[in-house]
Structure 1
Protein backbone atom coordinates (compact mmCIF):
# COMPACT_ATOMS: atom_id res chain seq x y z
CA UNK A 1 0.00 0.00 0.00
CA UNK A 2 1.35 3.41 -0.96
CA UNK A 3 2.06 5.75 1.95
CA UNK A 4 -0.16 8.83 2.23
CA UNK A 5 2.95 10.99 2.51
CA UNK A 6 6.39 9.94 1.34
CA UNK A 7 9.87 11.09 2.32
CA UNK A 8 9.94 12.88 -1.02
CA UNK A 9 6.86 14.91 0.00
CA UNK A 10 8.63 15.94 3.17
CA UNK A 11 11.77 16.97 1.24
CA UNK A 12 9.55 19.22 -0.87
CA UNK A 13 8.00 20.68 2.27
CA UNK A 14 11.46 21.32 3.69
CA UNK A 15 12.46 22.93 0.41
CA UNK A 16 9.84 25.60 0.93
CA UNK A 17 11.59 26.60 4.11
CA UNK A 18 14.88 27.22 2.37
CA UNK A 19 13.34 30.70 1.93
CA UNK A 20 14.04 31.12 5.63
CA UNK A 21 17.83 31.12 5.64
CA UNK A 22 17.86 30.68 9.40
CA UNK A 23 16.38 27.16 9.33
CA UNK A 24 17.74 25.31 12.36
CA UNK A 25 18.50 22.17 10.38
CA UNK A 26 20.11 19.99 13.07
CA UNK A 27 17.31 20.12 15.64
CA UNK A 28 14.67 19.96 12.90
CA UNK A 29 16.23 16.78 11.47
CA UNK A 30 16.57 15.28 14.96
CA UNK A 31 12.93 16.01 15.79
CA UNK A 32 11.79 14.59 12.46
CA UNK A 33 13.69 11.36 13.16
CA UNK A 34 12.00 11.08 16.55
CA UNK A 35 8.61 11.54 14.94
CA UNK A 36 9.48 8.85 12.36
CA UNK A 37 10.33 6.44 15.19
CA UNK A 38 6.95 6.98 16.84
CA UNK A 39 3.92 4.69 16.32
CA UNK A 40 1.88 7.53 14.77
CA UNK A 41 0.05 6.99 11.48
CA UNK A 42 1.92 8.35 8.43
CA UNK A 43 -0.58 11.18 8.05
CA UNK A 44 -0.08 12.23 11.69
CA UNK A 45 3.70 12.00 11.31
CA UNK A 46 3.55 14.36 8.34
CA UNK A 47 1.35 16.79 10.27
CA UNK A 48 3.73 16.80 13.23
CA UNK A 49 6.75 17.37 10.98
CA UNK A 50 5.02 20.30 9.29
CA UNK A 51 4.14 21.77 12.70
CA UNK A 52 7.76 21.57 13.87
CA UNK A 53 8.79 23.40 10.68
CA UNK A 54 6.33 26.18 11.55
CA UNK A 55 8.02 26.45 14.96
CA UNK A 56 11.49 26.95 13.45
CA UNK A 57 11.41 30.73 14.01
CA UNK A 58 10.12 30.16 17.54
CA UNK A 59 13.29 28.13 18.25
CA UNK A 60 15.41 31.16 17.35
CA UNK A 61 13.63 33.26 19.94
CA UNK A 62 13.79 30.49 22.54
CA UNK A 63 16.97 28.49 21.77
CA UNK A 64 16.94 26.99 25.29
CA UNK A 65 13.62 25.21 24.62
CA UNK A 66 14.16 21.47 24.19
CA UNK A 67 11.24 19.45 22.87
CA UNK A 68 10.72 16.21 24.80
CA UNK A 69 7.35 14.88 23.65
CA UNK A 70 6.67 15.50 19.96
CA UNK A 71 3.68 13.21 19.52
CA UNK A 72 1.25 14.30 22.25
CA UNK A 73 -2.08 15.91 21.36
CA UNK A 74 -3.25 18.29 24.07
CA UNK A 75 -1.09 20.34 23.94
CA UNK A 76 0.74 19.63 20.65
CA UNK A 77 4.25 19.45 22.19
CA UNK A 78 5.89 19.22 25.58
CA UNK A 79 9.26 20.86 26.11
CA UNK A 80 11.76 21.79 28.82
CA UNK A 81 12.56 25.46 29.43
CA UNK A 82 14.39 26.91 32.45
CA UNK A 83 13.85 23.65 34.39
CA UNK A 84 10.13 23.85 33.75
CA UNK A 85 7.91 21.45 31.84
CA UNK A 86 6.19 23.54 29.17
CA UNK A 87 3.21 22.53 27.08
CA UNK A 88 3.15 24.21 23.66
CA UNK A 89 -0.11 24.46 21.76
CA UNK A 90 0.34 25.47 18.11
CA UNK A 91 -2.37 26.93 15.92
CA UNK A 92 -2.35 28.70 12.55
CA UNK A 93 -4.32 31.86 11.88
CA UNK A 94 -5.85 31.96 8.40
CA UNK A 95 -6.02 35.48 7.01
CA UNK A 96 -7.92 34.71 3.76
CA UNK A 97 -10.42 31.90 4.29
CA UNK A 98 -11.71 32.22 0.73
CA UNK A 99 -8.19 31.47 -0.55
CA UNK A 100 -7.71 28.32 1.52
CA UNK A 101 -9.58 26.02 -0.89
CA UNK A 102 -8.01 27.70 -3.94
CA UNK A 103 -4.55 27.22 -2.45
CA UNK A 104 -5.28 23.59 -1.58
CA UNK A 105 -6.35 22.87 -5.17
CA UNK A 106 -3.29 24.67 -6.58
CA UNK A 107 -0.97 22.68 -4.32
CA UNK A 108 -2.45 19.43 -5.68
CA UNK A 109 -1.92 20.73 -9.21
CA UNK A 110 1.69 21.67 -8.37
CA UNK A 111 2.32 18.17 -7.04
CA UNK A 112 1.00 16.55 -10.22
CA UNK A 113 3.11 18.84 -12.41
CA UNK A 114 6.19 18.06 -10.29
CA UNK A 115 5.63 14.32 -10.76
CA UNK A 116 5.28 14.68 -14.55
CA UNK A 117 8.46 16.75 -14.87
CA UNK A 118 10.49 14.45 -12.62
CA UNK A 119 9.29 11.39 -14.52
CA UNK A 120 10.44 13.03 -17.76
CA UNK A 121 13.84 14.29 -16.56
CA UNK A 122 14.52 15.25 -12.92
CA UNK A 123 18.09 16.41 -13.67
CA UNK A 124 16.97 18.75 -16.44
CA UNK A 125 14.06 20.38 -14.62
CA UNK A 126 15.03 20.31 -10.95
CA UNK A 127 14.75 23.67 -9.23
CA UNK A 128 12.27 25.78 -7.27
CA UNK A 129 9.71 27.46 -9.53
CA UNK A 130 7.70 30.45 -8.32
CA UNK A 131 4.52 30.83 -10.35
CA UNK A 132 2.04 33.67 -10.69
CA UNK A 133 -1.33 33.07 -12.35
CA UNK A 134 -3.82 35.24 -14.21
CA UNK A 135 -6.72 36.39 -12.03
CA UNK A 136 -9.32 34.58 -14.16
CA UNK A 137 -7.83 31.12 -13.46
CA UNK A 138 -10.55 28.44 -13.09
CA UNK A 139 -10.13 25.38 -10.86
CA UNK A 140 -13.74 24.21 -10.95
CA UNK A 141 -13.33 21.13 -13.16
CA UNK A 142 -10.84 18.32 -13.80
CA UNK A 143 -10.56 19.50 -17.40
CA UNK A 144 -9.49 22.99 -16.30
CA UNK A 145 -7.08 21.56 -13.75
CA UNK A 146 -5.46 19.33 -16.38
CA UNK A 147 -5.06 22.35 -18.66
CA UNK A 148 -3.32 24.26 -15.84
CA UNK A 149 -0.96 21.32 -15.24
CA UNK A 150 -0.02 21.29 -18.94
CA UNK A 151 0.48 25.09 -18.92
CA UNK A 152 2.77 24.78 -15.89
CA UNK A 153 4.85 22.03 -17.49
CA UNK A 154 5.15 23.96 -20.77
CA UNK A 155 6.10 27.16 -18.92
CA UNK A 156 8.86 25.37 -17.01
CA UNK A 157 10.17 23.63 -20.11
CA UNK A 158 10.26 26.84 -22.16
CA UNK A 159 11.28 29.11 -19.30
CA UNK A 160 8.49 31.60 -19.97
CA UNK A 161 4.81 31.98 -18.95
CA UNK A 162 2.28 30.13 -21.09
CA UNK A 163 -1.54 30.01 -20.87
CA UNK A 164 -2.80 30.39 -17.30
CA UNK A 165 0.70 31.14 -16.02
CA UNK A 166 1.28 34.90 -15.77
CA UNK A 167 4.83 34.85 -14.42
CA UNK A 168 7.57 32.32 -13.66
CA UNK A 169 10.78 32.61 -11.68
CA UNK A 170 13.30 29.85 -11.03
CA UNK A 171 15.72 29.32 -8.16
CA UNK A 172 18.33 26.59 -7.73
CA UNK A 173 17.49 23.32 -6.00
CA UNK A 174 19.87 20.36 -6.14
CA UNK A 175 17.42 17.49 -5.74
CA UNK A 176 13.92 17.82 -7.05
CA UNK A 177 11.37 19.83 -8.98
CA UNK A 178 9.53 22.05 -6.51
CA UNK A 179 6.67 24.34 -7.57
CA UNK A 180 5.19 27.01 -5.33
CA UNK A 181 3.40 30.35 -5.45
CA UNK A 182 5.20 33.56 -6.30
CA UNK A 183 5.65 35.58 -3.15
CA UNK A 184 3.74 38.77 -3.96
CA UNK A 185 2.56 40.84 -1.02
CA UNK A 186 -0.12 43.50 -1.03
CA UNK A 187 1.25 46.52 0.87
CA UNK A 188 -2.13 46.95 2.54
CA UNK A 189 -2.81 43.30 3.32
CA UNK A 190 -3.78 43.54 6.96
CA UNK A 191 -4.45 40.75 9.44
CA UNK A 192 -7.37 41.81 11.63
CA UNK A 193 -6.49 41.41 15.31
CA UNK A 194 -10.02 40.11 15.87
CA UNK A 195 -9.09 36.88 14.04
CA UNK A 196 -6.27 36.32 16.53
CA UNK A 197 -8.55 37.13 19.48
CA UNK A 198 -11.17 34.64 18.19
CA UNK A 199 -8.52 31.92 17.97
CA UNK A 200 -7.37 32.60 21.53
CA UNK A 201 -10.95 32.42 22.82
CA UNK A 202 -11.49 29.06 21.09
CA UNK A 203 -8.27 27.69 22.60
CA UNK A 204 -9.28 29.06 26.02
CA UNK A 205 -12.33 26.76 25.96
CA UNK A 206 -10.07 23.72 25.45
CA UNK A 207 -7.52 24.73 28.09
CA UNK A 208 -9.09 22.64 30.94
CA UNK A 209 -8.54 19.48 28.88
CA UNK A 210 -4.79 19.98 28.34
CA UNK A 211 -2.14 17.93 30.13
CA UNK A 212 -2.19 19.04 33.78
CA UNK A 213 1.31 17.69 34.51
CA UNK A 214 2.99 20.65 32.77
CA UNK A 215 4.22 23.64 34.80
CA UNK A 216 3.12 26.13 32.15
CA UNK A 217 1.13 26.00 28.90
CA UNK A 218 2.01 28.37 26.05
CA UNK A 219 -0.08 29.18 23.00
CA UNK A 220 1.86 29.88 19.78
CA UNK A 221 -0.25 31.37 16.96
CA UNK A 222 1.51 31.17 13.59
CA UNK A 223 0.97 33.04 10.35
CA UNK A 224 2.45 30.76 7.68
CA UNK A 225 3.93 33.36 5.36
CA UNK A 226 4.58 30.72 2.68
CA UNK A 227 0.81 30.27 2.37
CA UNK A 228 -1.27 32.68 0.30
CA UNK A 229 -4.18 32.04 2.69
CA UNK A 230 -2.21 33.04 5.80
CA UNK A 231 0.22 35.78 4.78
CA UNK A 232 -0.19 39.40 5.83
CA UNK A 233 1.80 42.65 5.95
CA UNK A 234 0.65 44.14 9.24
CA UNK A 235 -1.70 43.42 12.14
CA UNK A 236 -4.64 45.81 12.26
CA UNK A 237 -5.58 47.27 15.70
CA UNK A 238 -2.67 45.46 17.35
CA UNK A 239 -3.39 47.19 20.68
CA UNK A 240 -6.52 45.02 21.06
CA UNK A 241 -4.27 41.99 21.60
CA UNK A 242 -2.96 43.43 24.87
CA UNK A 243 -6.48 43.28 26.38
CA UNK A 244 -6.83 39.52 25.85
CA UNK A 245 -7.62 37.39 28.91
CA UNK A 246 -6.51 33.77 28.87
CA UNK A 247 -5.49 30.93 31.21
CA UNK A 248 -2.44 30.28 28.97
CA UNK A 249 0.73 31.38 30.76
CA UNK A 250 2.21 32.89 27.59
CA UNK A 251 0.73 33.68 24.17
CA UNK A 252 2.77 34.57 21.08
CA UNK A 253 1.99 35.46 17.48
CA UNK A 254 4.74 34.35 15.11
CA UNK A 255 5.30 34.79 11.40
CA UNK A 256 7.55 32.09 10.07
CA UNK A 257 9.35 33.85 7.19
CA UNK A 258 11.29 36.66 8.86
CA UNK A 259 10.62 35.28 12.33
CA UNK A 260 8.88 38.36 13.76
CA UNK A 261 7.25 37.53 17.08
CA UNK A 262 4.65 39.43 19.10
CA UNK A 263 4.20 38.69 22.80
CA UNK A 264 0.44 38.89 23.49
CA UNK A 265 0.67 37.65 27.08
Structure 2
Protein backbone atom coordinates (compact mmCIF):
# COMPACT_ATOMS: atom_id res chain seq x y z
CA UNK A 1 0.00 0.00 0.00
CA UNK A 2 1.35 3.41 -0.93
CA UNK A 3 1.51 5.49 2.23
CA UNK A 4 0.50 9.08 1.57
CA UNK A 5 0.50 11.66 4.34
CA UNK A 6 -3.22 11.37 4.96
CA UNK A 7 -3.12 7.62 5.46
CA UNK A 8 -0.03 7.85 7.67
CA UNK A 9 -1.79 10.46 9.78
CA UNK A 10 -4.79 8.20 10.25
CA UNK A 11 -2.52 5.29 11.20
CA UNK A 12 -0.82 7.56 13.75
CA UNK A 13 -4.18 8.54 15.24
CA UNK A 14 -5.12 4.89 15.63
CA UNK A 15 -1.86 4.11 17.40
CA UNK A 16 -2.31 7.04 19.77
CA UNK A 17 -5.81 5.88 20.63
CA UNK A 18 -4.47 2.42 21.40
CA UNK A 19 -2.30 3.99 24.14
CA UNK A 20 -5.48 4.95 26.00
CA UNK A 21 -5.54 2.81 29.13
CA UNK A 22 -9.35 2.92 29.13
CA UNK A 23 -9.57 1.36 25.69
CA UNK A 24 -11.76 -1.74 25.51
CA UNK A 25 -9.12 -3.54 23.49
CA UNK A 26 -10.76 -6.93 22.90
CA UNK A 27 -13.92 -5.64 21.21
CA UNK A 28 -11.88 -3.00 19.39
CA UNK A 29 -9.53 -5.60 17.94
CA UNK A 30 -12.51 -7.69 16.84
CA UNK A 31 -14.21 -4.71 15.18
CA UNK A 32 -10.99 -3.62 13.49
CA UNK A 33 -10.48 -7.11 12.09
CA UNK A 34 -13.99 -7.02 10.63
CA UNK A 35 -13.26 -3.66 9.03
CA UNK A 36 -9.99 -5.02 7.61
CA UNK A 37 -11.88 -7.98 6.11
CA UNK A 38 -14.30 -5.65 4.30
CA UNK A 39 -14.01 -4.49 0.70
CA UNK A 40 -13.57 -0.86 1.69
CA UNK A 41 -10.64 1.10 0.28
CA UNK A 42 -7.70 1.30 2.73
CA UNK A 43 -8.34 4.96 3.41
CA UNK A 44 -11.99 4.25 4.24
CA UNK A 45 -10.89 1.41 6.53
CA UNK A 46 -8.68 3.80 8.52
CA UNK A 47 -11.55 6.29 8.69
CA UNK A 48 -13.94 3.66 10.04
CA UNK A 49 -11.37 2.46 12.56
CA UNK A 50 -10.91 6.02 13.83
CA UNK A 51 -14.67 6.45 14.11
CA UNK A 52 -15.21 3.25 16.09
CA UNK A 53 -12.36 4.25 18.42
CA UNK A 54 -14.16 7.51 19.15
CA UNK A 55 -17.01 5.36 20.44
CA UNK A 56 -14.79 3.54 22.95
CA UNK A 57 -16.12 5.58 25.88
CA UNK A 58 -19.64 5.01 24.59
CA UNK A 59 -19.07 1.26 24.93
CA UNK A 60 -18.19 1.71 28.60
CA UNK A 61 -21.63 3.25 29.17
CA UNK A 62 -23.42 0.70 26.97
CA UNK A 63 -21.43 -2.57 27.29
CA UNK A 64 -24.39 -4.58 25.94
CA UNK A 65 -24.21 -2.86 22.55
CA UNK A 66 -22.94 -5.24 19.84
CA UNK A 67 -22.00 -3.69 16.51
CA UNK A 68 -23.27 -5.71 13.56
CA UNK A 69 -22.58 -3.49 10.55
CA UNK A 70 -19.40 -1.43 10.76
CA UNK A 71 -19.12 -0.28 7.16
CA UNK A 72 -22.54 1.20 6.43
CA UNK A 73 -23.35 4.85 5.79
CA UNK A 74 -26.33 6.86 7.00
CA UNK A 75 -26.15 5.92 9.81
CA UNK A 76 -22.45 5.18 10.40
CA UNK A 77 -22.99 1.93 12.33
CA UNK A 78 -25.75 -0.57 13.02
CA UNK A 79 -25.77 -2.35 16.36
CA UNK A 80 -27.88 -4.67 18.49
CA UNK A 81 -29.09 -3.45 21.88
CA UNK A 82 -31.83 -4.99 24.06
CA UNK A 83 -33.10 -7.05 21.12
CA UNK A 84 -33.44 -3.90 19.03
CA UNK A 85 -31.65 -2.94 15.84
CA UNK A 86 -30.03 0.43 16.54
CA UNK A 87 -28.58 2.80 13.97
CA UNK A 88 -25.76 4.95 15.40
CA UNK A 89 -24.87 8.19 13.69
CA UNK A 90 -21.53 9.60 14.88
CA UNK A 91 -20.50 13.22 14.49
CA UNK A 92 -17.80 15.43 15.99
CA UNK A 93 -18.48 18.87 17.39
CA UNK A 94 -15.72 21.39 16.66
CA UNK A 95 -15.23 23.82 19.52
CA UNK A 96 -12.46 25.96 18.00
CA UNK A 97 -12.91 26.43 14.27
CA UNK A 98 -9.86 28.71 14.12
CA UNK A 99 -7.72 25.87 15.47
CA UNK A 100 -8.58 23.45 12.64
CA UNK A 101 -6.10 25.06 10.23
CA UNK A 102 -3.41 25.31 12.91
CA UNK A 103 -3.91 21.67 13.87
CA UNK A 104 -3.68 20.59 10.24
CA UNK A 105 -0.36 22.45 9.90
CA UNK A 106 0.88 20.91 13.15
CA UNK A 107 0.06 17.39 12.02
CA UNK A 108 2.01 17.90 8.79
CA UNK A 109 4.97 19.31 10.72
CA UNK A 110 4.85 16.38 13.15
CA UNK A 111 4.76 13.87 10.30
CA UNK A 112 7.80 15.42 8.60
CA UNK A 113 9.72 15.36 11.88
CA UNK A 114 8.71 11.72 12.41
CA UNK A 115 10.07 10.80 8.99
CA UNK A 116 13.41 12.52 9.72
CA UNK A 117 13.81 10.72 13.06
CA UNK A 118 12.74 7.31 11.70
CA UNK A 119 15.20 7.62 8.83
CA UNK A 120 17.96 8.50 11.28
CA UNK A 121 17.29 5.74 13.81
CA UNK A 122 13.78 4.33 14.40
CA UNK A 123 14.91 2.01 17.21
CA UNK A 124 16.59 4.81 19.15
CA UNK A 125 13.76 7.34 18.93
CA UNK A 126 10.60 5.22 18.77
CA UNK A 127 7.96 6.33 21.25
CA UNK A 128 5.15 8.85 21.58
CA UNK A 129 6.30 12.43 22.19
CA UNK A 130 3.94 15.03 23.65
CA UNK A 131 5.14 18.55 22.84
CA UNK A 132 4.12 21.95 24.14
CA UNK A 133 5.20 25.06 22.22
CA UNK A 134 5.92 28.62 23.25
CA UNK A 135 3.11 31.04 22.47
CA UNK A 136 2.92 33.14 19.28
CA UNK A 137 4.52 30.45 17.09
CA UNK A 138 3.18 30.77 13.49
CA UNK A 139 2.79 27.14 12.44
CA UNK A 140 1.02 28.02 9.19
CA UNK A 141 3.90 30.11 7.79
CA UNK A 142 5.86 27.94 5.38
CA UNK A 143 9.07 29.87 5.96
CA UNK A 144 8.95 28.96 9.68
CA UNK A 145 7.97 25.31 9.36
CA UNK A 146 11.45 23.93 8.58
CA UNK A 147 12.87 25.68 11.65
CA UNK A 148 10.04 24.22 13.78
CA UNK A 149 10.77 20.73 12.41
CA UNK A 150 14.45 21.14 13.30
CA UNK A 151 13.58 22.25 16.83
CA UNK A 152 11.29 19.25 17.28
CA UNK A 153 13.97 16.85 16.06
CA UNK A 154 16.66 18.37 18.27
CA UNK A 155 14.32 18.28 21.28
CA UNK A 156 13.67 14.58 20.77
CA UNK A 157 17.33 13.81 20.06
CA UNK A 158 18.44 15.62 23.23
CA UNK A 159 15.35 14.67 25.26
CA UNK A 160 14.88 18.27 26.35
CA UNK A 161 13.02 21.29 25.04
CA UNK A 162 14.88 23.27 22.36
CA UNK A 163 13.94 26.52 20.60
CA UNK A 164 10.22 26.89 20.02
CA UNK A 165 9.49 23.71 22.00
CA UNK A 166 8.47 24.64 25.55
CA UNK A 167 8.24 21.13 27.01
CA UNK A 168 8.56 17.50 25.91
CA UNK A 169 7.21 14.30 27.44
CA UNK A 170 7.78 10.76 26.17
CA UNK A 171 5.61 7.66 26.42
CA UNK A 172 6.69 4.18 25.34
CA UNK A 173 5.68 2.84 21.94
CA UNK A 174 7.13 -0.37 20.58
CA UNK A 175 7.14 0.42 16.86
CA UNK A 176 7.55 3.90 15.48
CA UNK A 177 8.04 7.58 16.25
CA UNK A 178 4.80 9.42 16.98
CA UNK A 179 4.61 13.13 17.79
CA UNK A 180 1.55 14.91 19.10
CA UNK A 181 0.70 18.02 21.09
CA UNK A 182 0.65 18.00 24.88
CA UNK A 183 -2.75 18.06 26.47
CA UNK A 184 -3.21 21.18 28.60
CA UNK A 185 -6.60 21.66 30.22
CA UNK A 186 -7.87 25.23 30.19
CA UNK A 187 -10.24 25.55 33.14
CA UNK A 188 -12.28 28.19 31.32
CA UNK A 189 -12.50 26.53 27.91
CA UNK A 190 -16.23 26.47 27.30
CA UNK A 191 -18.20 24.63 24.66
CA UNK A 192 -21.28 26.66 23.79
CA UNK A 193 -24.45 24.57 23.85
CA UNK A 194 -25.56 26.41 20.69
CA UNK A 195 -22.83 24.60 18.71
CA UNK A 196 -24.27 21.27 19.78
CA UNK A 197 -27.83 22.36 18.98
CA UNK A 198 -26.78 23.61 15.52
CA UNK A 199 -25.14 20.26 14.83
CA UNK A 200 -28.30 18.43 15.86
CA UNK A 201 -30.35 20.59 13.50
CA UNK A 202 -28.08 19.70 10.59
CA UNK A 203 -28.39 16.00 11.39
CA UNK A 204 -32.18 16.35 11.74
CA UNK A 205 -32.34 17.43 8.09
CA UNK A 206 -30.60 14.21 7.00
CA UNK A 207 -32.67 11.92 9.23
CA UNK A 208 -35.25 11.01 6.51
CA UNK A 209 -32.43 9.52 4.40
CA UNK A 210 -31.15 7.12 7.08
CA UNK A 211 -31.70 3.37 6.97
CA UNK A 212 -35.39 2.78 7.75
CA UNK A 213 -34.91 -0.88 8.70
CA UNK A 214 -33.56 0.02 12.17
CA UNK A 215 -35.83 0.09 15.20
CA UNK A 216 -34.20 3.21 16.61
CA UNK A 217 -31.60 5.72 15.43
CA UNK A 218 -29.25 7.31 17.95
CA UNK A 219 -27.10 10.38 17.44
CA UNK A 220 -23.76 10.36 19.27
CA UNK A 221 -21.99 13.74 19.28
CA UNK A 222 -18.32 13.43 20.23
CA UNK A 223 -15.83 15.97 21.50
CA UNK A 224 -12.51 14.44 20.49
CA UNK A 225 -10.35 15.51 23.42
CA UNK A 226 -7.20 14.42 21.55
CA UNK A 227 -7.88 17.26 19.11
CA UNK A 228 -6.98 20.89 19.78
CA UNK A 229 -10.02 21.98 17.79
CA UNK A 230 -12.54 19.85 19.72
CA UNK A 231 -11.46 19.90 23.35
CA UNK A 232 -13.35 21.75 26.07
CA UNK A 233 -13.71 21.77 29.86
CA UNK A 234 -17.39 22.58 30.37
CA UNK A 235 -20.58 23.06 28.36
CA UNK A 236 -22.00 26.56 28.62
CA UNK A 237 -25.78 26.80 29.20
CA UNK A 238 -26.12 23.02 29.39
CA UNK A 239 -29.80 23.37 30.34
CA UNK A 240 -30.57 24.56 26.79
CA UNK A 241 -29.77 21.05 25.51
CA UNK A 242 -32.91 19.73 27.18
CA UNK A 243 -35.03 21.88 24.87
CA UNK A 244 -33.92 20.04 21.74
CA UNK A 245 -36.47 18.77 19.19
CA UNK A 246 -35.30 15.88 17.04
CA UNK A 247 -36.54 12.72 15.29
CA UNK A 248 -33.55 10.81 16.71
CA UNK A 249 -34.69 8.41 19.42
CA UNK A 250 -31.70 9.17 21.63
CA UNK A 251 -29.02 11.87 21.51
CA UNK A 252 -25.80 11.83 23.54
CA UNK A 253 -22.82 14.11 23.88
CA UNK A 254 -19.64 12.22 24.68
CA UNK A 255 -16.07 13.26 25.42
CA UNK A 256 -13.52 10.54 24.74
CA UNK A 257 -10.84 11.39 27.33
CA UNK A 258 -12.57 10.69 30.65
CA UNK A 259 -15.67 9.23 29.00
CA UNK A 260 -18.18 11.75 30.40
CA UNK A 261 -21.53 11.39 28.67
CA UNK A 262 -24.52 13.73 28.61
CA UNK A 263 -27.95 12.42 27.65
CA UNK A 264 -29.59 15.17 25.58
CA UNK A 265 -32.66 13.19 24.58
- TM-score bracket for the superposition, by shorter chain length: over 0.9
TM-score of the superposed pair, with normalisation by structure 1: 0.95
Match of 1:209 in 2: 209
The offset of 1:25, in angstroms, is 0.8
Alignment CA distance shift 1:202-1:62 (3 Å): same
Deviation string, structure 1 residues 58-104 (Cα, Å, up to 9, x no partner)? 01111111111111110000011111110000000000000011001
Match of 1:74 in 2: 74
Match of 1:83 in 2: 83
d(CA) in 2 for partners of 1:7 and 1:229?
20
Unaligned runs of 5+ in 2: none
Matches within 5 A, 1:154-169: 154-169=154-169
Kept in 2: contact 1:66–1:81 (CA 8 A): yes
Match of 1:131 in 2: 131
The offset of 1:7, in angstroms, is 8.5
Match of 2:190 in 1: 190
Query: Is 1:257–2:257 an aligned residue pair?
Result: yes
Length, aligned pairs only: 265
The offset of 1:48, in angstroms, is 0.6
d(CA) in 1 for partners of 2:134 and 2:262?
35
Kept in 2: contact 1:35–1:71 (CA 8 A): yes
Match of 2:224 in 1: 224
Match of 2:178 in 1: 178
TM-score of the superposed pair, with normalisation by structure 2: 0.95
Kept in 2: contact 1:242–1:264 (CA 8 A): yes
d(CA) in 1 for partners of 2:206 and 2:66?
24
Match of 1:52 in 2: 52
Deviation string, structure 1 residues 172-230 (Cα, Å, up to 9, x no partner)? 22222111111101110010000000000000000000000000000000000011110
Alignment CA distance shift 1:198-1:8 (3 Å): closer
Match of 1:101 in 2: 101
d(CA) in 2 for partners of 1:69 and 1:34?
9
